[in-house]
Amino acid sequence: MTRRLLLIANPAASGFTGAKHRMVMATLNRDFDVEPIWPDGPAEAAAAARDAATSGFD
């Protein structure tokens, strides 16, 4: 059974690049069913994390 993972990306982070995002996704996809999201801010990220905790994400 594949474990589900919510990846909350922060494109405003200083080290963020598309290439790094693709590398992280490729690595995580080996062991997880990854769902990436790109929240508009901290409140949206926090809400997504709360929802994931009760929606079957590991």
Q: What does the pLDDT profile of the chain (58 residues) look like in tens digits?
A: 789 999 999 878 878 888 988 999 999 999 999 999 999 999 999 999 999 999 989 8
Instruction: Using a cut of 0.85, tell me whether the model's pTM lies above it.
Output: no
Q: Residue 44 CB: number of other CB atoms within 10 A?
A: 13
Separation between Cα atoms, residue 27 and residue 44, nearest integer Å = 25
User: Biggest alpha carbon distance in the chain?
Assistant: 35
DSSP tally for the chain: helices H, then strands E: 2, 2
